């Protein structure tokens, strides 16, 4: 080589003419020779910076097995939501919270309770209690209701919703009680179920709250929702929920349990944003829609 002639040095980026750098060359100390084969793949640059080694391909994370649902974990651990000791603890705490609660519907006799319960469907007890005082002053007896037509009753119960069907049920029940039961509301489940507008919920309310007969458990919207949250049932049908509850609750608690759960649903365990931080049942509740929890939550334990 003639003196004073310096051979051309490779560019720092490794992109000098006619030179291809293999991808495996990533060390800062690697020197790229001018005689590298042209068929090798071109190395990728990290960006505008110079003198930096090419970026290695990102590592692919291996997918791990999904964790089992909380309810599955609970079953594996032997958790039994309807274990007698857990049910007893729930009842004990309800007794402490609501020791002497009664039916929230205002009434003075069995017939007024029948009317109020029919009107409470798809309505609130507060709304019904605003309507019934004037209604019972206007029609003071079951005979007075039996003497009118459903159309005459409709304006008086309009604010409770579904007023046409409710008017037919109330007047029809009054006529049946006067014609077949001597004007007295029967204290028998089978007879009550023959009255228009009276299903098991209404019959259980009348038998339990007025006649003090524990023939079943009242399942209204609060009992439905909270029984599922507490994992006392997984059913959605009211009759199947009642069947589950009568199997696990002592008979002497059937009447009071419904009243307590209804009051609990109004005060704390409300539908959209339950006040879990203030609830005495919180440590026993694993509902998936809790707003605050210090225990494991089960995603299938909700309405």
Write out pLDDT tens, residues 37-50: 444 445 444 444 44
Tokens 């029984």 sit on residue:
227
Residue 139 reports pLDDT greater than 80: yes
Q: How far apart (Å, rounded) are the C-alpha atoms in residues 66 and 219?
A: 37
pLDDT tens for 9-30 read 555 554 544 445 444 444 444 4
Query: Per-residue pLDDT for 1 more than 60?
Result: no
Query: Catalytic residue positions?
Result: 201, 220
- How much is the pLDDT for 2? 52
Tokens read off for 251: 């008979």
C-alpha distance from residue 94 to each of 3, 87, 114, 232, 260 (Å):
103, 11, 27, 14, 7
**More confident position, 269 or 69:** 269
pLDDT of residue 68: 40
At 301 the pLDDT is 81
pLDDT at 7 over 50: yes
Report pLDDT for 300. Answer: 82
Mean of pLDDT values over 77-87? 92
As beta bridge partners, residue 287 has 298
34 pLDDT tier (thresholds 50, 70, 90): very low
Write down the pLDDT at residue 103.
Answer: 95
pTM: 0.72
Q: Tell me what the mean pLDDT of segment 208-224 comes to.
A: 96
- Give the CA distances from residue 149 to residues 145, 172, 174, 291, in Å, rounded to whole numbers and listed in that order: 8, 9, 11, 48
Per-residue pLDDT at 30: 40
Range 243-247 average pLDDT: 97
Query: Which ranges of the chain does DSSP label H, i.e. alpha helix?
Result: 70-76, 84-97, 110-119, 125-138, 142-146, 150-157, 163-180, 189-192, 200-209, 221-229, 238-248, 254-267
Whether 143 has a pLDDT exceeding 90, the answer reads yes
Question: Would you say 276 and 222 are in contact if contact means Cβ atoms under 8 Å apart?
Answer: no
Mean pLDDT of the chain: 83
Which tokens sit at 213?
């007969």
Instruction: Tell me, letter by letter, the H, E, C secondary structure of 87-102.
Output: HHHHHHHHHHHCCCCC
pLDDT of residue 245: 98
pLDDT per residue as tens digits for the range 246-288: 999 999 999 999 999 999 999 999 998 999 999 999 999 999 9
User: What Cα–Cα distance (Å) separates residue 163 from each residue in 92, 118, 135, 155, 268?
Assistant: 40, 10, 14, 8, 30
The tens digit of pLDDT for each residue in 145-170 reads 999 999 999 999 999 999 999 999 99
Q: Tell me how long the chain is.
A: 303
């Amino acid at each position: 080589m003639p003196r004073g002639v310096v051979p051309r040095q490779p560019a720092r980026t490794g992109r000098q003419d006619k030179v291809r750098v293999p991808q495996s060359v990533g060390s800062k100390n690697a020197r790229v020779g001018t005689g590298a084969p042209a068929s090798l793949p071109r190395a990728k640059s990290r960006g505008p910076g110079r003198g930096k080694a090419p970026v290695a391909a990102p590592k692919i994370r291996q997918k791990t097995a999904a964790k089992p649902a909380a309810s599955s974990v609970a079953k594996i651990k032997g958790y039994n939501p309807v274990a007698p000791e857990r049910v007893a603890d729930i009842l004990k705490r309800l007794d402490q919270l609501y020791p002497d609660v009664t039916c929230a519907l205002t009434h003075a006799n069995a017939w007024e309770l029948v009317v109020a319960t029919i009107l409470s469907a798809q309505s609130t007890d507060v709304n019904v209690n605003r309507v019934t005082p004037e209604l019972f002053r206007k029609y003071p007896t079951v005979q007075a209701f039996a003497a009118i037509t459903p159309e005459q009753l409709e304006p008086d119960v309009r604010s409770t919703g579904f007023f046409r069907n409710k008017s037919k049920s109330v007047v029809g029940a009054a006529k049946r009680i006067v014609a077949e039961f001597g004007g007295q509301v029967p204290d028998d489940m089978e007879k009550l179920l023959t009255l228009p507008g009276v299903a098991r919920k209404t019959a259980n309310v009348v038998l339990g709250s007025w006649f003090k007969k524990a023939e079943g458990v009242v399942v209204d919207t609060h009992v439905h929702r909270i029984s599922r949250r507490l994992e006392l049932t997984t059913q959605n049908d009211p009759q199947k929920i009642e069947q589950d509850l009568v199997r696990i609750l002592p008979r002497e608690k059937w009447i009071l349990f419904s009243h307590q759960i209804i009051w609990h649903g109004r005060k704390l365990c409300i539908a959209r944003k339950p006040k879990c931080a203030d609830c005495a049942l919180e440590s026993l509740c694993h509902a998936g829609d809790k707003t605050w929890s210090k225990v494991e939550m089960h995603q299938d334990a909700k309405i």
